[in-house]
Amino acid sequence: MSLRHALLAVLTAAPMSGYDLVKYFNGTVAFVWNAPPSQIYPELRRMAEEGLLDVEVVARGQRASKRLYSISENGLEELNRWANDVLPLQPTRDPYRLKAAYMEWADIREARRQLEEHEHHYEYWLAQWRRLVDDIRARRVPLLRRRLEGRTEREQDEIVAFKLFAFEGEIAHAEAEIAWARRGLGLLDEIETARESPRQADRAS
């Protein structure tokens, strides 16, 4: 149940509406946890019902309104509980590794497309994460700025250090995935060469 805790954690920075949260979960928060509106809105309702959030209904224009959520005492307790409990590590279940393990069932060309997709996906996110890390280091991220307000300098440094630690983990992961995809593409080239010219492949190995 991480979505719930991600919502609690974001709401510690400032009270906000479901719409605001949806934007963050499409923006910077999506760099560690993504969630669609159809999941966020009902979850906020449930959390408010369970007393983890306080709600203020604010008028907007003539007829419309919005619900401003803020974290309650109970919500803070729950957040602390989550932060202090060890979350058990889960067994592996990686669909891309699974496909790779059975690549003999694919054409070389299609296998290559999958690995290129893999490489490009992580290259894209690597660039995003790197930019985010720079922005965090320069304290240029709006949500982070709100979170740092009114904290001591030491607290600010610690908060920033944890964010950097988390996203540097994503960066290292992305780099490992890119390297893996490239090794796979190299392997496919070797296999193709070996299939096309058996003698040369024999000599090469």
Question: Which residues lie below 8 Å from residue 54, measured CB to CB, with a gap of 6+?
Answer: 48, 69, 70, 71, 72
The DSSP code for 32 is: T
Q: Indicate if the alpha-carbon torsion angle 183, 189, 192, 193 is positive or negative.
A: negative
Q: Is 165 in the site for a second copy (CB under 8 A)?
A: yes
Question: Which residues lie below 8 Å from residue 37, measured CB to CB, with a gap of 6+?
Answer: 18, 22
* Residues 158, 189: Cα–Cα separation, whole Å: 47
Q: Which is nearer to DNA, 42 or 198 (CB)?
A: 42
Of 58-117, binders to a second copy (CB under 8 A) are 79-80, 82-89, 91-107, 110-111, 113-114, 117
Q: Please report where in the chains the tokens 């974290």 appear, as a residue.
A: 71
- From the list 5-13, 16-24, 38-46, 58-66, the region that binds a second copy by CB under 8 A is 5-13
Q: Which is nearer to a second copy, 1 or 59 (CB)?
A: 1
Residue 15 interacting entry, from DNA, a second copy, none, C-beta within 5 to 8 Å by type: none
Shortest distance, position 88 Cβ to DNA, whole Å: 8
> Site residues (CB under 7 A) for DNA?
1-4, 17-20, 22-23, 34-39, 41-42, 44-45, 60-64, 66-67, 90-91, 93
